[in-house]
Amino acid sequence: MAGRVEGKVAFITGAARGQGRSHAVRLAEEGADIIAMDLLEPIPHVAYQGATQEDLDETVRLVEKTGQRIIARKGDVRDLPGMKAIVDEGVAEFGKLDVVVANAAVMVMREWQDVTPDIWDLTIGTNLTGVWNTVMASAHHVVEAGGGSLILVSSAAGLKGQPFLTPYVAAKHGVVGIMRAFAAELAEHNVRVNTVHPTGVATPMVNGIETLMPEYLGRHPQLAGIAANLLPVAVTDPRDQSHAVLFLASDESKYVTSTTLPVDAGNTQY
């Protein structure tokens, strides 16, 4: 079934690589034009390298390869005026906005006593305030288009506790609250709002903590089972998550709103 989002325009944050790039390409494959944004700067405290201009250029190449159009810009989800300018530029170019994917996030793994105010502020600012900023910069365009879909990427850690990730877990739980509040208010405009909750995904973020997790679990072996999936897979592919994003972006989910959608291989059942 091709063309599931044909004629739609989607705004995606954190689109330079990983899940964001995958979402952009998957939606483009099904007919959407893309407004893409990413930080493109080193991120303090994290155990992985930040996305680069070359990464974003590759997203542009892959989207254009599908035959769809894309505008890609450097931007910070903590900067609401800057985000508004990017979204407004994209809407001026493409004529409307139908889909928003609030995907940008950071992850800093620390034991609770080692979390600093800087780490807390970075994580909450990006993963929670950044999601609110994304909606505030874009939702009015979706309303003006007659309705559409806002997809907020949370995590399995937005539905259950996870050790060594206190700020991340707090932010991702908060994303669910943002989703439910916006879903209630925007429903009268035919705007649907939902969250997606991945388990581990094979991205630079998750790869960056691979060496830290065994170290921490070695000190706290009683927590070893908490990150396990029911299905026999350690991590999912970004495209596995993009299939869920595509469903929520398409008219197939036209009556799905205020819903938490786990794509977690059963992780949240533990």
Residue 236 DSSP class: B
The 3-class SS string of 109-165 reads CCCHHHCCHHHHHHHHHHHHHHHHHHHHHHHHHHHHCCCEEEEEECCHHHCCCCCCC
What DSSP string runs through 162-212?
Answer: -TT-HHHHHHHHHHHHHHHHHHHHHGGGTEEEEEEEE--BSSHHHHTTTTH
164 assigned to some structural domain: yes
267 assigned to some structural domain: no
pLDDT at 227: 82
268 assigned to some structural domain: no
Number of separate domains in the chain: 1
pLDDT at 1: 59
Whole-number Å distance between alpha carbons of 14 and 55? 11
131 assigned to some structural domain: yes
Positions annotated as catalytic residues are 168
Average pLDDT by stretches of 10, the chain with 270 residues: 92 98 98 98 94 98 98 98 98 98 97 98 98 98 98 98 96 98 98 98 85 86 89 96 98 98 95
119 assigned to some structural domain: yes
Whole-number Å distance between alpha carbons of 173 and 151? 15
Which three-class secondary structure state does DSSP give residue 238? helix
Which three-class secondary structure state does DSSP give residue 24? helix
Strand partners of residue 261? 196
The 3-class SS string of 206-228 reads HHCCCCHHHHHHHHCHHHHHHHC
Its sign, for the CA torsion 129, 165, 37, 196, is negative
Strand partners of residue 27? none
pLDDT at 211: 75
Q: What is the CATH number of the domain that holds 72?
A: 3.40.50.720
Do residues 133 and 92 touch, judged by C-beta distance below 8 A? no
Torsion of CA 108, 13, 195, 67, to 10 degrees: -130
Angle subtended at Cα 19 by Cα 13 and Cα 23, rounded to the nearest 5 degrees: 70
pLDDT at 226: 86
| Order of strands, sheet of 99-102, starting from the edge strand that comes earlier in the sequence | 70-74, 33-38, 9-13, 99-102, 148-153, 191-198, 260-263
Domain of residue 233, residue span: 9-261
pLDDT at 120: 98
30 assigned to some structural domain: yes
